[in-house]
Amino acid sequence: MEHADITIIGGGAVGLAISAELSRHFKNLVLLERHFSFGQETSSRNSEVIHSSIYYYKGYLKGKLCLEGNEILYDLCAKYNIPHKKTGKLIVAVNDEEVSRMPELFETAKNNGAKNISILEGKEINKIEPNVTAKAALYAPESGIVDSHQLMQFYEATAINNGCNIVYNSEVKSITKVSDGYVLGISTSNSDIYEFHTKILINSAGLESGNIAALAGMDIDKLGYRIKYLKGIYYRVTKQLEKYPQTLVYPFPPQPSVGVHTCPDLAGGMRLGPHFVWVDKIDYSIDDTFHQYFYEFVKSYLPFLEYDDICPDSTGIMPRIDGFGIPNKDFVIKEESDNGFPNLINLIGIESPGLTSSAAIGKMVKTIINY
């Protein structure tokens, strides 16, 4: 039977970041990914935003790791020429009710350690983005965008160069706890199944992370690890591109997300989104159902928008451990000895700001192993 000291399940941004970090410190390391290449799910279907720790509840890992990850990510991108841009972010209030809540949002961001934030009024907003209409805005200059594919490519290359064995087309079908670790049943692209032993198992399977925990024998309903699917819908801007802000522009945050915002990309394009809907299964299809919604929502802060300027573009799905009407829960990043599964490290519900936090999560997992 083949053997590894440490095995990571999942080749998205977070799994790859963990493999890159651990490969600097440990040998005999394996990453298993069920798809043909890295980042085929949540990591490649998102806004590619570098967040700056604005929204999260005080004490949440999301805020701490986002703040740490933001700094690490900018350093990595500059050092290794990973395409990125520090655009800044405007979170706009378009009515008096939102203006009245702006100090609360500012305090939340301040408590999370967000850097260099300020509250701007209308004329100050227009000095930054003349085509944005708002009564006030929280300005977060440390936000930006990154080429997520090239970031994941960097993590992958780092891990491989340090000796990590990354195996694609390998889906985990069974997990058996044994005295010295875990035995995995792996299905390959030709449908063969082989067994594989590992001392330490790291579950970074994203949308499948709850199912992986269940395969290991955990009661995911009792522990709150069952994943719910939150589908994000994006529209593409096809006209008047010259009028669109290069600063990220977000609406004042509703639930269950941060709302439909501008998504400039590094090639000069523009998407709007995401608009979120809860779904029962992984389905990336898209139609034009939400055209009117996008038009009316975005026109509230970009009044030049015309109905025919946009069309359906793409979708992504976030792995959430909360649900409709339930307050947003924190990341689960946990070694599971106290639940009877020693040397199993679960990463459950790693959604936004997972991309921003990825390198910081890698360092946290390394600390857990050392402990």
Kindly list the domain boundaries of the chain, sorted by start residue: 2-45+149-226+328-370, 89-141+228-320
* Intrachain domains 2-45+149-226+328-370 and 89-141+228-320 with the same fold: no
SS3 57: coil
Note the pLDDT tens digit of each residue in 63-88.
999 999 999 999 999 999 999 999 99
Residue 330's φ and ψ, nearest 5 degrees, are: -80, 165
- Per cent of the chain over pLDDT 90 is 92
Within the chain, where are the H helices?
A: 13-22, 61-80, 96-111, 122-128, 148-161, 209-215, 220-223, 291-299, 354-370
Structure tokens at 370: 């050392």
The pLDDT score that the predictor gives to residue 325 is: 58
Q: How far apart are CA 10 and CA 41, in angstroms?
A: 10
For domain 89-141+228-320, give its CATH number from 2.60.40.10, 3.40.50.150, 3.40.50.2300, 3.30.9.10: 3.30.9.10
Tell me, what's the pLDDT at 253? 87
pLDDT at 35 over 60: yes
pLDDT band at residue 124 under the 50/70/90 scheme: very high
Strands in the chain per DSSP E? 2-9, 29-32, 49-50, 84-85, 89-93, 118-121, 136-140, 144-146, 165-167, 171-178, 181-187, 193-203, 228-237, 248-251, 261-264, 270-279, 310-320, 332-336, 341-348
Of the CA atoms within 13 Å of residue 344, those in its CB half-sphere come to 28
Q: What is the pLDDT of residue 34?
A: 96
Q: Is pLDDT at 256 greater than 80 in this prediction?
A: no
Say how many CA atoms lie within 13 Å of 43 toward its Cβ.
Answer: 30
Report the C-alpha gap between 140 and 49 in whole angstroms.
Answer: 13
Bridge partners, 91 (sequence order): 138, 250
Cis-peptide, bond into residue 256, ω within 30° of zero: yes
User: Rounded distance, CA 23 to CA 158, Å?
Assistant: 8
Do 197 and 183 form a contact (C-beta atoms < 8 A)? yes
Question: Is residue 263's pLDDT more than 90?
Answer: yes
Beta-carbon contacts of residue 62 (< 8 Å; ≥ 6 apart): 56, 330, 331, 353, 357
114 pLDDT higher than 90: yes
Give me the torsion for CA of 353, 358, 363, 364, rounded to 10°: 40
Examine the pLDDT at 355 and tell me if it is beyond 80: yes
- Mean pLDDT over 116-138 rounds to 97
Give the mean pLDDT of the chain. Answer: 96
List helix spans (H) across 54-197: 61-80, 96-111, 122-128, 148-161
Average pLDDT of the segment spanning 135-163:
98
Query: Which whole number is the average pLDDT over 93-111?
Result: 95
Region 327-336: mean pLDDT is: 91
- Locate tokens 């199993």: which residue? 344
CATH architecture of 2-45+149-226+328-370: 3-Layer(bba) Sandwich (3.50)
Region 17-33: mean pLDDT is: 98
Distance from C-alpha of 272 to C-alpha of 262, rounded to nearest angstrom: 5
Name the percent of the chain lying above pLDDT 70.
98
Position 255 pLDDT exceeds 60: no
- Above 70 in pLDDT, residue 257? no
Pairing of strands 310-320, 84-85: unpaired
